[in-house]
Amino acid sequence: MSLALPLVMSSLLFGIGVFGVLARRNAVLVLVSVELMLNAANLNLVAFDAWWSDTLHGGQLMALFVITIAAAEIGIGLAIVLLVFRARGSSDLDDLGELDERREPDQPMIMFNQRVHSTEIGHDHGEVGGRA
């Protein structure tokens, strides 16, 4: 079996997937493009397994693991996209730059390593539990 045809097909699939990730703005289409790239890798694994005539069929086993991981990834990814779509009404990736809807647009974003004092969040004193 010639190895050129599966490698050309795999590179075309991977190129289409990369283009989809870079050019698309819809989150679902980006997930589909990532799946295309994973399927291109699977095609390479199976083609090299057949070309080397591996008795253990390592390429096919790795392809099964990649398919399993891809199924989990697409399930979690679609769940996240659906939650964002329900909350925002859009799955456009450009609109998801800032996920915190509670802060005002002119307020600075609080980073994880910054400490917030009780006077900055509207309390007059810093008692535990917010009791007056």
CB 1 within 8 A of CB 50: yes
Predicted confidence (pLDDT) per residue in 61-86, tens digit: 999 999 999 999 999 999 999 998 88
pTM score above 0.75: no
Domain count along the chain: 1
Domain enclosing residue 42, as ranges: 4-96
CATH number of the domain to which 51 belongs: 1.10.287.3510
Distance (Å, rounded) from C-alpha 112 to C-alpha 91? Answer: 26
Reported for 44-49, long-range contacts at CB under 8 A and 24+ positions apart, including other chains, are 44/6, 44/7, 44/10, 46/6, 47/3, 47/6, 47/7, 47/10, 48/3
Predicted confidence (pLDDT) per residue in 109-131, tens digit: 555 555 555 555 555 555 555 55
Distance (Å, rounded) from C-alpha 61 to C-alpha 72? Answer: 17
